Amino acid sequence: MTRRSHLLLIFGSVFLALLPETTQLQPSQVWTLIKIQQLLNNPPMLSHWRRSTDFCGGAGGFMGPNGSAAVLCYGDTVTQLHIAGAPGSPPLPTNFSIGALVTTLSRLPDLKVLTLSSIGLWGPLPGKLSRLAALEIVNVSGNYLYGDIPRGMSRLVGLQTLVLDGNMLGGELPAWIGTALPSLAVLSLRNNTFHGAVPESIGSMPSLRSLVLASNNLSGNLPDMSRMTNLQAIDVAGNSLGPAFPKLGRKVVTVVLSRNRFAGGLPEALSSFYLLERLDVSWNRFVGPFTPALLSLPSVRYISIAGNRFTGTLFDKTPCGENLQFVDLSLNLLMGSVPTCLRSPERKPATVVLVSTNCLDSSDGSQRPSPFCQNQALAVGIVPGKERKNIGRQAGVVAGIVMAILVAVSAVGFIVVFSVRKAATKGSKARTLAPSEEESSSTGYPSKMLADARYISQTVKLGALGIPSYRSFSLVELEAATNNFENSYLLGQDSHGEMYRGRLGNGTPVTIRTLKIKRSQTTQSFNRHIETISRLRHQNLVSALGHCFEYDLDDSTVTQLYIVFEYVQNGNLRSRISQGTEGCKLTWSQRISAAIGIAKGIQFLHGGIIPPLVGNDLRITNILLDQNHVAKIGSYNIPILAEAMKSDQGGAGNKFQSDSPMYGDKTDIFDFGVILLEVVSGKTITSMYEVDILKELLAWAIADEDRVRRRSFADPAVSKGCSDESLRTVLEICQRCLAKEALQRPSVEDVLWNLQFAAQVQDDWEVEAWSSGGGSPVSSSSRASRVARPSPLNLSR
């Protein structure tokens, strides 16, 4: 807090400069000071105060190991009073009265600066402090003041600095604090027990330069502070704030957010904060890529991102700023190598660099194996799109739905839903070529269609990462991929068409769904469907890669549609859970990751495309795993198929339950609950009856205080390797998903949040277990702060 002591110094020197030749202090003020001495029970640093003391001549001052005192005057009146005891001084005796002290202080009408720190003051902060109307700087830190900030203080309109650190003050922060004190430049409330949200009004304090709310019990998002052009320092460490990263002006110098509940990614704008010197976001729930550009900000001295789940790769050549003195990247999911500039012995003073417990190249045993980070990164790779708009649900789409089964046949036990029969004769079909690749890449869509895309959510943009771009295919290409739609490539067939596997010219394996088009289908609705299909792209869906039309030679109407999907190689989820052999069963972390993947897929289907796809009849056998164990929903409710089948099939119906179509999204949540039940218990579930039985065991397991039943509920293949807290979180969310009443089931965001939380506590638990297993680089301080983190149960609601 050097900044503040500067402030005091500047103030001091201003007053001193104005000081005329020494004059005697008014006798009434001498008497007041002596009275204060008594009220404070004659503390040692005031022991030399007598009625005869020349207070304004400097004789009131004292500087010793146990405390300090100073009186400064302007003319014959006291303008500054500093009395500071040793940190941790005990409370004053019971005959002390804070009210009497403040009443006495108010006899110093010109007092501008008041420091009464660590001298054992106790009692509620009196509102009548406002009688000291000239006050500009107040520092009463390190005492035993309790109660809330009294309304009366709002009358101290000249107040510039208010420091109440290290007391026992509490209650909610008053909203007037942002409006009543127009000159306030420093507000420091560190280490009290304030709770509740930080009032919006704080975001509109024109003069505020330093806001310190650290070590309280504050929660919720911080107000928008981007308009506070003077704000230089914000320290809110050690609260329960979040999840949104605070909006700050670009000129901040110090940003300390550590030990809170901030989540999501770092805002991109941060790398343009050219004055930033100190950035501490450690011990939160941040996910997503770490921006190495932060290391090379021109002013930066101190960066800590420890204890999050930042991903990304660092390189030898990653540049770093000249002033960098401390970098802590520990306990994240970073890969690559520690930048050379950080290790350079020429840096003077040498930068302190902490990197343990990532997956960086290092042979000192401080790193995790890189598959760990890869897997975890995949699990947290996408920041869930929060901005789901209120899209009018189209109940009609839901009615009588039949699924498109996008089968990707896998080596192990995949249930092929199509009945494989001999394909119909193919030679007789009249074909013309679809438009060539060049003119119909994804940008080649009718521009109207793209203009119609009312919104592309974050989910869409981020979710499609890594999937080849959507394009249209030529029939020639698809014929080549399937050896002319040869029978041995046929995976299945139903009344609307066939499903083939194939391999594109560049080696990419695909599945190709063919679909006969009814003549009644209007071009417009057809285009709309294609538009929707082209958006079915997300890392947790078996995604559409493109389409191809086949035209009638006579009237050039579309007769057949081919949709090309990803081919997912690694089996379905059941084959790695309940029907897996011992060695291939997923670990607990992998199971949570898979569940998170499914939930993200559902979130995308519900919120990432228009119209939302609900009622997807999710089943564990239709959840496929790719080679990185990323779960992909392999079967969902493609509108064009739903429409085509509405007429000729009376709805496949839901396997396990029947909600009103209005709650199609909650039907998906229920189905997800069933999947989760199997994922946790490791028992194959094939009927509603089995669901009911397991639900009862589930309730029983959750309620068990001794964990024993919880452990026995979990699949024995994982029950040893999972933390109880993680298990209980998953069980609880599973139970809520399976609620009988659709409305009582959680939103997919809620599900995701809980699963991500379960993943994190599991991760922490594994790290803890791993590090106590020897060779741990986790420092004792980081361990301590981990223990100090708030209990997860409070977090979940």
Under the rule (CB under 6 A), what is the footprint of ligand NAG? 1, 4, 38-39, 41, 44, 64-66, 84, 93, 95, 115, 117, 139, 141, 163, 166, 188, 191, 193, 215, 217
At its nearest, how many Å lie between ligand NAG and the CB of residue 567?
Answer: 52
Instruction: Choose between 217 and 410: whose C-beta lies nearer to ligand NAG.
Output: 217
At its nearest, how many Å lie between ligand NAG and the CB of residue 217?
Answer: 4
Instruction: Choose between 123 and 634: whose C-beta lies nearer to ligand NAG.
Output: 123
At its nearest, how many Å lie between ligand NAG and the CB of residue 120?
Answer: 12
Partners of 332 in the beta sheet?
A: none
H or E segment and range at residue 233: strand 233-235
Pairing of strands 352-354, 326-328: parallel
Q: Answer yes or no: are the C-beta atoms of 155 and 179 closer than 8 Å.
A: no
Instruction: Choose between 90 and 369: whose C-beta lies nearer to ligand NAG.
Output: 90
At its nearest, how many Å lie between ligand NAG and the CB of residue 238?
Answer: 8
* CA atoms of 47 and 33, how far apart (whole Å): 12
Q: Answer yes or no: are the C-beta atoms of 404 and 635 closer than 8 Å.
A: yes
Instruction: Choose between 36 and 287: whose C-beta lies nearer to ligand NAG.
Output: 36
H or E segment and range at residue 27: helix 27-39
Partners of 162 in the beta sheet?
A: 138, 187
At its nearest, how many Å lie between ligand NAG and the CB of residue 218?
Answer: 10
Amino acid code (one letter) for 300: V
Per DSSP, the residues of 145-168 read EEE---GGGGG-TT--EEE--SSE
Secondary structure letter of residue 541 according to DSSP? B
Place of tokens 């164990």: 629
Instruction: Choose between 96 and 526: whose C-beta lies nearer to ligand NAG.
Output: 96
At its nearest, how many Å lie between ligand NAG and the CB of residue 214?
Answer: 8
Integer CA distances (angstroms), 454 to 384, 469, 530, 539, 601, in order: 20, 20, 16, 22, 21
At its nearest, how many Å lie between ligand NAG and the CB of residue 789?
Answer: 12
Q: CB neighbours of 81 closer than 8 A, spacing ≥ 6?
A: 33, 36, 70, 71, 72, 105, 108, 111, 113, 114, 115, 116
At its nearest, how many Å lie between ligand NAG and the CB of residue 196?
Answer: 11
Instruction: Choose between 84 and 295: whose C-beta lies nearer to ligand NAG.
Output: 84
**Dihedral, CA atoms, 325, 331, 337, 342, nearest 10 degrees?**
10
Torsional class of 332: left (φ above 0), alpha (ψ -120 to 50), beta (otherwise): beta
Instruction: Choose between 616 and 785: whose C-beta lies nearer to ligand NAG.
Output: 785
Instruction: Choose between 122 and 656: whose C-beta lies nearer to ligand NAG.
Output: 122
Q: CB neighbours of 433 closer than 8 A, spacing ≥ 6?
A: 474, 475, 476
Instruction: Choose between 65 and 369: whose C-beta lies nearer to ligand NAG.
Output: 65
Instruction: Choose between 138 and 605: whose C-beta lies nearer to ligand NAG.
Output: 138
Residues in the chain: 797
At its nearest, how many Å lie between ligand NAG and the CB of residue 141?
Answer: 5
At its nearest, how many Å lie between ligand NAG and the CB of residue 356?
Answer: 24
Long-range contacts of 483-490 (CB under 8 A, 24+ apart): 484/426, 485/423, 485/426, 487/422, 487/423, 490/420, 490/423
Q: Answer yes or no: are the C-beta atoms of 208 and 222 closer than 8 Å.
A: no
Phi/psi at 193 (nearest 5 deg)? -125, 35
Instruction: Choose between 201 and 217: whose C-beta lies nearer to ligand NAG.
Output: 217
Q: CB neighbours of 451 closer than 8 A, spacing ≥ 6?
A: none
At its nearest, how many Å lie between ligand NAG and the CB of residue 654?
Answer: 43
At its nearest, how many Å lie between ligand NAG and the CB of residue 170?
Answer: 7
Instruction: Choose between 172 and 494: whose C-beta lies nearer to ligand NAG.
Output: 172
Secondary structure letter of residue 534 according to DSSP? H
Output the furthest CA–CA distance in the chain (Å, rounded).
119
Integer CA distances (angstroms), 36 to 78, 93, 137, 443, in order: 13, 15, 19, 79
* CA atoms of 112 and 15, how far apart (whole Å): 10
Instruction: Choose between 90 and 427: whose C-beta lies nearer to ligand NAG.
Output: 90
* CA atoms of 301 and 749, how far apart (whole Å): 37
Pairing of strands 137-139, 113-117: parallel
Instruction: Choose between 217 and 527: whose C-beta lies nearer to ligand NAG.
Output: 217
At its nearest, how many Å lie between ligand NAG and the CB of residue 24?
Answer: 27
At its nearest, how many Å lie between ligand NAG and the CB of residue 342?
Answer: 29
Amino acid code (one letter) for 448: K
Instruction: Choose between 255 and 640: whose C-beta lies nearer to ligand NAG.
Output: 255
At its nearest, how many Å lie between ligand NAG and the CB of residue 726?
Answer: 23
